[in-house]
Copies of this chain bind each other. A is one copy, B any other.
Amino acid sequence: MNETPALTKNQSLVMSVLSEAKSPLSAYQILDELRPEGLRAPLQVYRALDKLTEHKLVHRIESLNAFVACSHAAEHGGEMVAFAICEACGRVEEFCDPVLQSRLAAWSHEHDFIPTRTTLEIKGRCAACH
């Protein structure tokens, strides 16, 4: 069910750039990295990002207008994902928390709200940057 298909050429290129990045990259930063490989237009990157995001191999960080490779070893289920973003070094840590998830589910249920997607991003300073 819902197998992740093999990546296409552009998807692979974008994925490899994000996998090697130490912090989130904007679509235009990714494009610049890939000009040597022949990419020229933002849309080539955005299309790849759309697919990668759909398959949850990549996540969009809304508060940065940027993208990170998923750091989950295993596949994502339907669970909520959160991010801790260091404002000093730029590093992002991805995490899941069942308590947060169930608390949000409870709020939604109480308020007759049907959630489809949750954005949870904490900005601050990571352990290495105190």
Do A97 and B87 touch across chains, with their CB atoms under 8 A apart?
no
Do A122 and B115 touch across chains, with their CB atoms under 8 A apart?
yes
Do B97 and A114 touch across chains, with their CB atoms under 8 A apart?
no
Do B117 and A119 touch across chains, with their CB atoms under 8 A apart?
no
Smallest distance from the beta carbon of A59 to chain B beta carbons, Å? 13
Total residues of chain A contacting the partner, CB 8 A: 32
Q: What residues make up the interface of A, taking CB atoms closer than 8 Å to B? A: 62-63, 84, 86-87, 93, 95, 97, 99-100, 103-104, 107-108, 111-127, 130
20 pairs, A vs B, C-beta closer than 8 Å: A62-B63, A62-B119, A84-B107, A84-B111, A84-B115, A93-B111, A95-B107, A99-B99, A100-B103, A112-B126, A114-B125, A114-B130, A115-B124, A116-B125, A117-B123, A117-B124, A118-B121, A119-B121, A119-B122, A120-B120
